[in-house]
Amino acid sequence: MYIHVYSKILLLNNAGLNSRSKPARARNADAEWPVACTGARLRRLTRRVTAHYEYHLRTTGLKLSQYSLLVHLSEKPESLSALADRMEIDRTTLSRNLRPLLDQGLVEETAGSDGRQRLFVLSGNGARLRAAARKQWRKAQVSLEHHLGPDFVANLHTQLEQALSRLKPALPEEN
């Protein structure tokens, strides 16, 4: 049975029909296949970096996205739209990320001057947790720089900022 299946696989591979082979159009074209996808690589890197920071933040009970949100909030009330714009995140995602922080009493919601506007402010408990989490974040940052090298991290930051500023005008206004 094993030899029979193996011989079938060899026949398929030799015929160019295996699942890893290039499509006919790519085999005949000068284009490299598969094309390196920057988006996929960045998503992989983001998952790995997030896991690194969340490992260090685990004692605080915060996810990296929640810590980031606490860092962006202050004792001065801010609208959802203003906060979303500053963080460069859509309002739906921001609302979803705010919900557990509101439920835990780390962020407080108040009404704006017209009653329809929602304003968000860091609570006293949120400020205390942010201070504790900042120590853990710092450990994560030092660890990351240890593993990647401080020059690499500084260059990465420069490259990321350049990419962000170059891509912003290439996207529709709502992005």
Would you say the pTM of this structure is higher than 0.85?
no
What are the domain boundaries of the chain? 60-175
Kindly report, residue by residue over 57-85, the tens digit of the pLDDT: 999 999 999 999 999 999 899 999 999 99
Of the listed ranges 21-25, 46-50, 102-106, the one predicted with least confidence = 21-25
- The pLDDT of residue 23 is 46
**What is the average pLDDT value for the chain, to the nearest integer?**
84
Kindly report, residue by residue over 123-165, the tens digit of the pLDDT: 999 999 999 999 999 999 999 999 999 999 999 999 999 999 9
- The pLDDT of residue 169 is 86
DSSP string, the chain: -HHHHHHHHHHHHHTT-STTSPPHHHHHSSS-SSPP-HHHHHHHHHHHHHHHHHHHHGGGT--HHHHHHHHH--SS-EEHHHHHHHHT--HHHHHHHHHHHHHTTSEEEEE-TTSS-EEEEE-HHHHHHHHHHHHHHHHHHHHHHHHH-HHHHHHHHHHHHHHHHHHGGGS-TT-
CATH class of the domain whose range is 60-175: mainly alpha
- The pLDDT of residue 11 is 40
Kindly report, residue by residue over 84-102, the tens digit of the pLDDT: 999 999 999 999 999 999 9
